[in-house]
A and B are shown apart, each in its own frame.
Chain A
Amino acid sequence: MKAGPGPIFGLMAEFETPTELVHAAKGAYAAGYRKMDTYTPYPLEEAAEAIGAHHNRVSLIVLIGAMLGMVGGYSLEYWVSVIAYPINSGGKPFHSWPAFIPVTFECAILGASLAAVFGMLALNGLPQPYHPVFNAPNFVRASKDRFFLCIEAQDPRFSPSDTRKLLESFQPEEITEVPY
């Protein structure tokens, strides 16, 4: 890898404790940064909370998926029982909506779960065979005993000097430039 200035993926700060990481993540979020991510050895709900990871569109996609499944399931049953194969069963009307509800419900669940899986994959960009954060020298310890916060260069507020200054104010162990 060439030394010297080139495009960088972002600035990464390394912390020893989760408390420091959450503090830094909250600070960076308050400073207006949005394109950032935290990397921790175990799931850390508060870190996700701090960088606003819960404000995503997956729930909306799931809702749309559920609606489509619901409408699709009901329409299919309506078409089968009323239009295509009307069969008189027990003297009930062809359009016997109470009997349609279980399948409608199942189809809504199917639509919601498919939308959840594929919507999640579409939004988080997985599967991703290459990710620049692994270029940071100490990053292996993210699966072991260190906590990382990476502010990405794509963020409109990113500036190599100011962002570094902000990260320094959280007193991390180390700050590294992450190359592409």
Chain B
Amino acid sequence: MSQTLVRITPKDFAPPAFIDRMRSISLTVGVVFGAMAVVGAVLYWNIFLRAWLYSFMFWLGLTTGSLALLMLQYVSGGNWGRLGRRIWEAAASNWWLMLLFSLPIAAGMKLLFKWTDPAVAATLGNDKIHYYLNTPFFLVRGALYFAGWAILYTILMRWSKKEEAGDTTPAQFVFIQNLSGFGIVFYALSITFASIDWTMSLYPQWWSTVWGMLFMVGQVLSTFCFTIWLFTRLSGSEPVSRIFKVDYLHDFGKLMFAFVVLWAYLSFSQWLIIWSGNMLSEIRWYVMRLNNGWQYFGTILIFVHFVFPFALLLSRNTKRSKTRVVAIALLVMFMRLVDLFWQTAPNFYPGKQGVDAGLNNFGWPDAAMYIVCPIAMGGIWLFFFYMRLSKRSLMPVNDPGFTEMLEAKHG
């Protein structure tokens, strides 16, 4: 067969113009809702902080979840990794934005975290708990997590830019693989401690050893959902449409399915072990969440975060249909937010039998803040994300495996 050799350059996969349009929409949404969040912060600082914390955990999930997938695909290889690489690089670049977003939490931590009050810390039943849960150490730990993420991101990005310029050698690829392997270990440790610090310590009487894993799985799951949505969006037009194959969608669908199952597996293990043990120290976390109106959210999570997507994604045809996979991805992404809500919010509205009734204390300002904050943060996050995405080619064309992806499978 006669073939013309064509050299693919990064220019051939320049981002389409509609990314700029999506960027300006994000900015508008971010500014409008950001202004509402600021008004809310002035009027209801306490409530704003609670909503801000859960939004922070959600968007941090997309940022560090992307960092994790970026490192994972360097270690494992595979087409799915090459397709998502630019998306995850752009998302992980938002680490500085998340650092900025964490400042209100640091400023208001006295209101969020009860253990900051020495009087409360004394009632926690362990006189050594302040070795870990004290304000300076909490802030230093936060700085360390961000420093680690920033360093990993910077090294990965420097390599990626070099590769795009065509200046890399196979030896350097081995280096980036080894670094990624180490980086995944750091990711696991940092998210374990970060999730304990920022969410589990909201109720310092309680602990769960699977907590960090739950957050890692949640972060990667929401990143996959986001990637599926954006990748499908991009695949409808040039340049991504040139290499799009239904098999890629199928692969992402399978990965999303796997993480939906893993989330259910870990969440259920935590519940089953605590339920079987039935110890006061552990079960009260669930008692709080299965009464006073919070139980509806738990039920929604079981069915909409697990049963429904699980049943649909079992089918091969569903995983190969753009509209259906995207619809499920967006639904699961929304459920991630509901899950974070269910994990964090009841701590602030616990409800005591006869005294006050949990969700009944959740008024209109609370609801408004819990809706406005994630949208405000998301608009700004997406603005910087699209800005990064539009600066570089959408595919790593100099990756040794990339040429293979241009070929039809049957030669």
Contact = CB atoms under 8 A, between A and B. Distances in A.
Interface stretch (A4-12, A17-25, A74-82, A155-163): A17-25
Interface SS majority for chain A: helix
Interface in A97-112: 98-99, 101-102
B9 to A, nearest CB: 27
B316 interface: yes
Given A59-B315, A59-B316, A98 B411 contact: no
Contact of A98 (B271, B409, B410): B271
B269 to A, nearest CB: 9
24 contacts: A17-B411, A18-B410, A18-B411, A19-B408, A19-B410, A19-B411, A21-B410, A22-B410, A44-B410, A45-B247, A45-B409, A46-B409, A47-B410, A59-B315, A59-B316, A90-B276, A90-B278, A98-B271, A98-B272, A98-B275, A98-B276, A99-B272, A101-B272, A102-B272
Given A99-B276, A101-B268, A54 B316 contact: yes
Nearest to B311: A63
Interface size class of B (residues with CB under 8 A): 10 to 19
A98 B283 CA distance: 14
B22 to A, nearest CB: 34
A101 B410 CA distance: 44
Contacts of A99: 272, 276
Contacts of B316: 54, 59
Contacts, number: 30
Contacts of B315: 59
Interface in B374-411: 408-411
Interface residues of A, number: 18
Contacts of B314: 63
A101 B265 CA distance: 11
A163 B316 CA distance: 32
A46 B272 contact: no
B286 to A, nearest CB: 11
Interface of B: 247, 268, 271-272, 275-276, 278, 314-316, 408-411
Interface of A: 17-19, 21-22, 44-47, 54, 59, 63, 90, 92, 98-99, 101-102
Nearest to B246: A49
Contacts of A18: 410-411
Nearest to A66: B314
Contacts of B268: 101
Contact of B410 (A46, A59, A90, A92): A46
Contacts of A21: 410
Contacts of B271: 98
A93 to B, nearest CB: 12
- Chain A CB within 10 Å, residue with most, of B247, B408, B409: B409
A39 to B, nearest CB: 15
A17 B411 CA distance: 8
A45 B275 CA distance: 47
B335 to A, nearest CB: 20
B220 to A, nearest CB: 22
Nearest to B277: A90
Top 4 A-B pairs, shortest CB-CB distance: A18-B410, A22-B410, A46-B410, A19-B410
B313 to A, nearest CB: 13
Contacts of B247: 45
A30 B93 CA distance: 49
Contacts of B408: 19
A46 B410 CA distance: 7
B359 to A, nearest CB: 23
A102 B265 CA distance: 10
Contacts of B275: 98
Contacts of A47: 410
Contacts of B409: 45-46
Contacts of A46: 409-410
B267 to A, nearest CB: 12
B312 to A, nearest CB: 13
Given A21-B410, A90-B278, A101-B268, 15 more contacts: A17-B411, A18-B411, A19-B411, A22-B410, A44-B410, A45-B409, A46-B409, A54-B316, A59-B315, A59-B316, A90-B276, A98-B271, A98-B275, A101-B272, A102-B272
A159 B408 CA distance: 33
A102 B314 CA distance: 19
A119 to B, nearest CB: 15
A31 B411 CA distance: 24
A86 B350 CA distance: 36
B247 to A, nearest CB: 8
A100 to B, nearest CB: 10
A63 B314 CA distance: 9
B204 to A, nearest CB: 26
